Structure 1
Amino acid sequence: MQLKKRPFVWPSEDPFKLAVTPQTLIPRLPWQAELKLDDSQPLTWKRRIATSRADVTLLRPGTPLVNVIERFTRWDDRGTAFITYRIVPDWQGEPWIGFKLCFTIEPALDIADLLAPTRGELAASRCAQRYFAASAQTVIIDVNGDDVFDPALLGILEHPYRSEGRGSDINLGSRPHLLAEIIDPGTFPRICRDARDGVRQRLARQPEVAERIAEAARSAEIDLQRRQSRLQRRQSAGDAMARADIALIEAILLSIRKPAIRLDAMGCFVVGAKTAGAHFIG
């Protein structure tokens, strides 16, 4: 996003402040205004600093700035899909084809307008996240859907994109004629869908994911029962706040029992020597 981070008071690096610059990738309208960045507000990621200074805002899930940035990254789809030919000069044999998929497992709650969520949507999201926090899962598979464990290949795939110099990467997304030399363009969309759906189904079946879901649902159900019992003991039909809390937990229970496994980003890698395909020469 290229927000500029500066020390709030020189020379200390923490707390800090954030500012928009001409290089910032967040659109001026409408999102920059939603950030509400203020030079007079010190920020930190460290709880120790926030607890020692009352004027410092601790950045964490639930903080307005963090919430806005999270919604912006869901709204902005730049960089969420790519096809890269990664040149490895000493690669032997046919090019390797595979995928990197990044999923988020989170309560299945929709926000109709990411720029302007309602209070009810924000309240439901905060409540659900209290029981079932979002988690990220990154999976790398080959074109057949099998997991990749080879450390050498994983190391090749982990390198950042290189646009210049020896062994620079090639963006096949803007060069479909080169992609067509490696894989049939007519079948490529189906292969991508199969990769996405296959990994999503596997994640849903993972024992640790099922355990997290069950534990979160139990926690929410116990909390709900405790609040219901407390309200009954009060015998206060007019306790609107307690009833609202109960209604909120009831509303988000299904989103916890059946969370969303959302694809955040997906990339296709082709790994091979520079001579793979006549168009790559020169």
Structure 2
Amino acid sequence: MKIKSFLAIAACGLLFAACQTNDGQSVATDHSNAEKADSMLYYFAQMNGAQYDRDAQRDTTLASDEAKKAYIMGVQTGLNAAKEDNDAYNRGLNLGMQMAMTFQQFKKDYGVELNKKVFVKALSEALSNDSIINSSDMQREFYRIMSEFNAQKEERDIKAANENLLKASETLKMKKIADNLYGGVITPTEGEQIKDGDNVDASINVENIEGKAINAPLPSKLKIGSRSLPEPINTALKTMKSGETGKFATSAMSIFGPRAAQMGLQPSDVVILTIKATVTPPEEKK
């Protein structure tokens, strides 16, 4: 059987665990329902297998046979870890798995290794306290510290993005427009200068530094100066005249913000924009 088939079958179990009644008996009690349940799980598994393939297209480390086998083993371990008739244990297991992944991501994003013992000790204290914990105070302090980590990360990301952009601009021979934007017009015209308040029809092609297309949901009808328009695009357009085509380099962080990760990009990755823009005349008042 192929790896992909194993992947689909293993993923089925994730939904199976949710199809149990409180007494551990399967919802599908008769033969007909059992067949329906098997079919449902099969399709759910295929959906998860397809999602894994999509993820592997963005992260090639997931594409190898070894990675797929490891994924299946992880799924199977999770399926076997849950205990019947022990809701408290399963709730703890679920939180533990979530936190394990959070710890890994936190180290990757912020460069700080979180202490598992601190978390477990604090959780134990919270459960053994005689007095009621003020959850609002806990949340306020949590988000206060988290905001400090986010500020540090943003500062590092901006620095890394600007450094990458500078290197890319030297390679591509692009002129600096702003710290987070390089480039200029590649097909000039004698059209009117694009300015704040203009309505513009724009064709925007987005690529990474290697020239691979990035599927970015950018609008084609733009209003210059609008707060909904990414700042690098707004700035780039104002260097152009109506009918011109420009080529620009910016960072994934500057143009996509937190959505960069959803596109398989790091905040500091260089993004190349090829923009053709035409000013549209204002609508006549009736």
Provide the TM-score with structure 1 as the length reference.
0.29
Provide the TM-score with structure 2 as the length reference.
0.28
Larger radius of gyration: 2
- Greater relative contact order (Cα 8 A, min sep 6): structure 1 or 2? 1
